[in-house]
Chain A
Amino acid sequence: MKLEVEIQGRLRAIELEPTTSPGQYRVTLDGEVIEVEARLLRPGVLSLVVAGRSYRAVREDDAPAGNGGEVAVLVAGGRFPYRVEDSRSLKARRARSGGHDGPKAIKASMPGRVVRILASQGEEVEAHQGVVVIEAMKMQNELKSPKAGTVVEIRVAPGDTVSAGDVLAVID
């Protein structure tokens, strides 16, 4: 089977072919052929022997990686977020996100509670100016504007509980 994996911003074409020997795969990665021996140890934990080197790869969660959803694999102490999509939609999305114009959202990077709003709707802000303060685990974090512009929308109020990825404000 053929897959396209976007990993750390790099698009990689991978073809997996089972061979006749158990657990053995012929992997073609961006045209390069690599011999891989794989064992699923338990859900989410894979042992790989790649060209004689042994690795343990852990898929971070059970959520699907498709439709723009991002999951990550952990390998050798590194965390590698990835997406798997069919090549057409991936290209379209990359084209869309290429430009810097248009409104930008400030999203909660982590779950927490909104403590303060530092800019009001209609206010002009500089790039990297703080807009919303979130608290989690007794620590406050100022979420900054991704660009210079006008605050067109503030979607939260102090005291609100937010989840990672929630849109807090929109800057245009």
Chain B
Amino acid sequence: LTPFRKILIANRGEIALRIERACRELGVATVAIYSEADRAALHVLEADEAFLLGPAPATESYLRGELILDIARRTGADAIHPGYGFLSENADFAEACEVAGIKFIGPTASAMRALGSKTKARQAADAAAMPRTPGSTRALASLAEAYSVADEIRYPVMLKAAAGGGGKGMRAVARREDLKAAFEAAQSEALRSFGSDEVYLEKLIERPRHIEIQVLADEHGNCIYLGERECSVQRRHQKVIEEAPSPVVGSDLRRRMGEAAVRLARSQGYTNAGTVEFLVDAEQNFYFLEMNTRLQVEHPVTELVTGLDLVHLQIRIAQGEPLPISQQEIELRGHAIECRVYAEDPDNGFFPSPGRITRLLQPGGPGIREDSGIYEGWVVPMDYDPMLSKLIAYAPTRELAIARLLRALDEYVIGGIRTNLGFFRRILSDEGFRSGRIDTGYLDHLLAEPARRDADAETSDQTVAAIAAALFEALRATPASPVQPPAGAWKSAARREGLRG
């Protein structure tokens, strides 16, 4: 059992930085990789070594498995951590790492093949006697087959990419006449996003909750679950807010879901960290959805309520260590909620808002964790997912965790680009969210309602903003400004009074 001395991190953004931090804590050197668009990204600045992959598009940079493996060899890295997205669920890449003798920090290629494809995972779920949504367990061969499966399980149905994730290649279909267009759109989106046009059909569960179980398995046959995460607050099938524990999962349901997840992982010889996703209906029936064979974006909420560091554990498992904890020792304490902060404009259809971060004031204080990959002056590239950071609050109760998040959102200022920070204020203040009455349709309903405004507060904020604007303009006094430099008395007064700091 030899500890890793150097790990290549095959990712970018906040997760690359998150993994670098874990490596530092464990005394492991880090190798970053980057595209031309990311030379100044924080994950490059914070790494011990950094290597250019190529131009900005992911296919010419972060998805170049052979080149990345070659860099790992050249730098003498013992292991590669793939993060999430990019190559993290690419079994061919995991296999190439195995062949090259460089440890892939994740499951084996064969476990990934058995579970990473959603259709194969559905077959595995049947073998492990897990409840799943009705529908096909193989890719649809034709539109005709799609019609026949949909007719059998009855509308509404959901089309999904077998290789999918992150809501891509997914289409809900309410009526038979919409199936053809949805099938074709799902296929082409799946091909574009994942390089495979395989799609399958499943019954659409009405108003479900999305609840997932974190599992950890070592290479000595130990497998445990670390409780659930509630991820029902979604927009376009993309998670927006995640929390642990779920407001509706009691100890019995948690145990039954957790044991089912462990059963599935064991049945495929799964190792390292993974997540088994379920839909839970109003009667608390749960249905297996898919398994994510990697670290999840929302892993911090589990870390906070279990007190464990999942990236440390991933590295230790990959080094061949047995799990340092047993199922009985897992204890959930408190409540954690995460907001995915995006460079997008909620007032403009959530359109991405890349560009320079001109001002950045980051939150802190008790119970606040901010996992980010940004800094003031950095230009958010247009080429990748627009997530900037994850703002996570931890507190003894859900109510207090919400209060902490709202407080931290007030401290958080990101200027120069649009963000969804204000959108989180709205969700966290909404009675539906606060009472825990959420399902995967919750956010669409909230967005369909006009935002409630506090007119008095807005007027007073606008007044302050106008005063601030006038002061800023007075301070600028640059020749380019049409604002005439004030009388000498003003400038000298400003200097005298220390307004310029």
Residues of A within 8 A of B (CB): 1, 3, 5, 7-8, 10, 12, 14, 16, 18, 22-25, 27, 29, 34, 36, 38-42, 44-46, 48, 50, 55-62, 64-67, 72-80, 82, 84-86, 89, 109-113, 136-139, 141, 164
Q: By the criterion CB–CB under 8 Å, are A109 and B468 in contact?
A: no
Residue in B462, B464, B478 whose CB lies within 8 Å of A48:
B464
Q: Which residues of B contact A66 (CB under 8 A)?
A: 480-483
Residue in B348, B355, B356, B464 whose CB lies within 8 Å of A57:
B464
Closest Cβ–Cβ distance, residue A15 to chain B (whole Å): 9
Q: Which residues of A contact B466 (CB under 8 A)?
A: 5, 7, 12, 14, 29, 80, 82
Q: By the criterion CB–CB under 8 Å, are B474 and A58 in contact?
A: no
Q: Which residues of A contact B487 (CB under 8 A)?
A: 1
Annotate B350-371 by CB proximity to A: 1 below 8 A, 0 otherwise.
1111111011010000000000
Q: By the criterion CB–CB under 8 Å, are A44 and B351 in contact?
A: no
Residue in A7, A57, A60, A136 whose CB lies within 8 Å of B416:
A60
Closest Cβ–Cβ distance, residue B426 to chain A (whole Å): 10
Annotate B181-222 by CB proximity to A: 1 below 8 A, 0 otherwise.
000000000000000000000000000000000000000000
Q: Within the assembled complex, what's the spacing in Å between the Cα atoms of A5 and B373?
A: 36
Q: By the criterion CB–CB under 8 Å, are B501 and A7 in contact?
A: no
Residue in A14, A25, A75, A111 whose CB lies within 8 Å of B355:
A111
Residue in A7, A58, A84, A110 whose CB lies within 8 Å of B359:
A58
Q: By the criterion CB–CB under 8 Å, are A7 and B465 in contact?
A: yes
Q: By the criterion CB–CB under 8 Å, are A22 and B497 in contact?
A: yes
Q: Within the assembled complex, what's the spacing in Å between the Cα atoms of A75 and B422?
A: 12
Q: By the criterion CB–CB under 8 Å, are B352 and A137 in contact?
A: yes
Of all chain B residues, which has the CB nearest A32?
A: B463
Q: By the criterion CB–CB under 8 Å, are A44 and B354 in contact?
A: no
Q: By the criterion CB–CB under 8 Å, are A75 and B474 in contact?
A: no
Closest Cβ–Cβ distance, residue B355 to chain A (whole Å): 7
Knowing A40-B500, A66-B482, A67-B482 touch, does A137 contact B415 (C-beta < 8 A)? no
Q: By the criterion CB–CB under 8 Å, are A10 and B462 in contact?
A: yes
| A-B complex: 3 closest residue pairs judged by Cβ atoms | A57-B468, A66-B482, A80-B465
Of all chain A residues, which has the CB nearest B409?
A: A77
Of all chain B residues, which has the CB nearest A41?
A: B501
Check B329 for interface membership: any CB of A closer than 8 A. Answer: no
Residues of B within 8 A of A (CB): 343, 345, 348-356, 358-359, 361, 382-386, 409-410, 413, 415-416, 418, 421-422, 425, 457-458, 461-476, 478, 480-484, 486-487, 489-490, 493-494, 496-501
Closest Cβ–Cβ distance, residue B477 to chain A (whole Å): 10
Q: By the criterion CB–CB under 8 Å, are B415 and A61 in contact?
A: yes
Q: By the criterion CB–CB under 8 Å, are A38 and B343 in contact?
A: no
Q: By the criterion CB–CB under 8 Å, are B490 and A1 in contact?
A: yes
Closest Cβ–Cβ distance, residue B18 to chain A (whole Å): 20
Knowing A18-B494, A18-B497, A61-B415 touch, does A137 contact B385 (C-beta < 8 A)? yes
Candidate in A24, A46, A89 with the most chain B CB atoms within 10 angstroms = A46
Closest Cβ–Cβ distance, residue B122 to chain A (whole Å): 27
Q: By the criterion CB–CB under 8 Å, are B481 and A136 in contact?
A: no
Q: By the criterion CB–CB under 8 Å, are A65 and B469 in contact?
A: yes
Q: Within the assembled complex, what's the spacing in Å between the Cα atoms of A113 and B144?
A: 36
Q: By the criterion CB–CB under 8 Å, are B501 and A42 in contact?
A: yes
Of all chain A residues, which has the CB nearest B412?
A: A77
A48-B467, A80-B469, A136-B354 are known; give 5 further A-B pairs, CB within 8 A: A18-B494, A29-B467, A57-B468, A110-B352, A111-B354
Q: Which residues of B contact A27 (CB under 8 A)?
A: 467, 470
Closest Cβ–Cβ distance, residue B411 to chain A (whole Å): 9
Q: By the criterion CB–CB under 8 Å, are A84 and B469 in contact?
A: yes
Knowing A7-B465, A80-B469 touch, does A141 contact B351 (C-beta < 8 A)? yes
Q: By the criterion CB–CB under 8 Å, are B386 and A7 in contact?
A: no
Of all chain B residues, which has the CB nearest A164?
A: B355
Q: By the criterion CB–CB under 8 Å, are A110 and B462 in contact?
A: no
Q: Within the assembled complex, what's the spacing in Å between the Cα atoms of A62 and B473?
A: 11
A selection of 10 A-B contacts at a CB cut-off of 8 Å is: A1-B487, A14-B467, A14-B470, A44-B358, A55-B464, A56-B361, A58-B413, A60-B415, A61-B416, A111-B355
Closest Cβ–Cβ distance, residue A130 to chain B (whole Å): 12
Q: By the criterion CB–CB under 8 Å, are B385 and A138 in contact?
A: yes
Knowing A18-B494, A111-B355 touch, does A65 contact B349 (C-beta < 8 A)? no
